[in-house]
Structure 1
């Protein structure tokens, strides 16, 4: 049985829904956001799941700030800690925070959901990008499997750039869906080149930047359920190992939604000494900075993330510090 700590109470759910801008009109009536979402779930579970996923992506940034802008330089995946950081403090989090939060929310709303672990492809850091011949990093990603009307879907709110923006059905027909136009996404089933047993297959999440581009593998995963203690182990490695990308770089992304908050149309990306905005496939640099103080201001401006002075001081002496 899953731990009761993986759920949130009605007050917390209401605060989460406010955080992601769900049913903002409800605040002008006597109906709560929670009442609104439960009614919507009863009418169309999949459509509501899609809206929650997209509003989460458009409101809660993905990033690694806690490993740089803090005195403790660590990540907690405890559900209460994650809620405090992402909802109350309105900061960012990487996969085992963002997706962990979403997992608790979906369970609390009555969805049939469980988490599993994935391996990110080396194609993302310059490795072989050819599907079927890519290599993978060790387990270090968190994905959700949600069942709606007897169909299983992969749901993810913690991958950052080119992460999935809607539930993808676990079907081997290679269904192509819009990720963030013109980029497209799909799931295929394949055997990693490193597997000795060629009869074993994993789901592979792939993205292409436009219909004329090649498919690039992003990560692979199975349908085996992972437990909280499994993610505690994965999180420790991801947040402490000296070769971890998250340890070496302060990164942050946030999806841009259309005016109705329904469709993902772009993304903000903070990396290095600049903030980029990709909007409908076109990328531009919207801000550059050469001082640590200016990066902190950029995080406030583009991601609505506000840090205390002593938290920003935590980056001093790290390889990620802007000098």
Structure 2
């Protein structure tokens, strides 16, 4: 992409805003994009919070491209992200979802840059041994994603999906040789009485497209990668006012579950691949083509 940072033209930004169901009460005769740019200037944090929550509630976090496709690859090119997530209305995993959100924010006038984050073993395995997995980055973090912008302020606690809470701390890692080095650590807990669990750690160093290209290749191609072995899809649920995240809808394994207020309900048990394809359409508004559906045949993630 050269030295020029990518942006989307207004017509594509407006299509993205329609994709995430961002519909302000009035635009005062201006286009939706013009109205939003004005809001970015007058209330940048409030506007960012609205955009983040609408994105999380409408664009599923998932890895369908690695399972339901003929190519089993993930592209981070801005045009491919737009086609897949906005035009096709499909899901995107960490770097896809963050990638398009990042470009849209820049297109709207935000001063924004991306960095990479290590994922904690505590999230992947349930055991907090102080170790961290490879770099990756996303607009949220699957089930434990941040549902609002978090200031780089140590120890500030916020609700992410009641009764769950989130916070940032700054600390060294057990694997660091130089213990004076500290990184930001994003933590969550299920409720105020639960222990804090580390999810992601990151520094403030800017990452470039070539960095994410390397990370994306590793995450999507290494045989041991969880994303390669398992298909998953989830999205957040907004309250009726469209202002607060109140729960999650999750497809994992053979179940579709809904979690609201700390309570989990199984919505459907998936017996066949046909069940899963219909459930993707019903719960996530994802409509796969025949060639994409056939792409999962023979993979460990296929329902047999």
With the shorter chain as reference, the TM-score category is: over 0.9
SS in structure 2 of the partner of residue 55 of structure 1: helix
CA distance in 2, matches of 1:59, 1:200: 38
Distance 1:225 1:264, change over 3 A: same
CA distance in 2, matches of 1:313, 1:267: 28
Decide which of 131, 134, 138 is 1:135's aligned counterpart.
Answer: 131
TM-score (norm 2): 0.96
Deviation, 1:81, is 0.5
CA distance in 2, matches of 1:24, 1:40: 11
> 2:221 matched to 1:225?
no
**Aligned 1:1-323 pairs, distance under 5 A:** 3-4=3-4, 6-23=6-23, 25=25, 30-129=29-128, 133-139=129-135, 141-142=136-137, 157-172=139-154, 174-323=155-304
Deviations 1:47-82 (A, max 9, x none): 001111111001100000110000001000011111
Deviation, 1:261, is 1.2
Deviation, 1:25, is 4.5
Deviation, 1:162, is 1.2
CA distance in 2, matches of 1:128, 1:275: 25
The aligned length equals 304
CA distance in 2, matches of 1:114, 1:285: 38
CA distance in 2, matches of 1:3, 1:50: 29
CA contact (8 A) 1:26 1:32 kept: no
4+ residue runs of structure 1 moved beyond 2 angstroms? 1-5, 24-27, 29-32, 125-129
5+ residue gaps, structure 2? none
Deviation, 1:290, is 1.1
Deviations 1:276-323 (A, max 9, x none): 100111111101111001101101100000001111110001000110
Deviations 1:151-195 (A, max 9, x none): xxxxx52421110011111122x0000101100000001111111
Report the structure, 1 or 2, having the larger strand content: 1
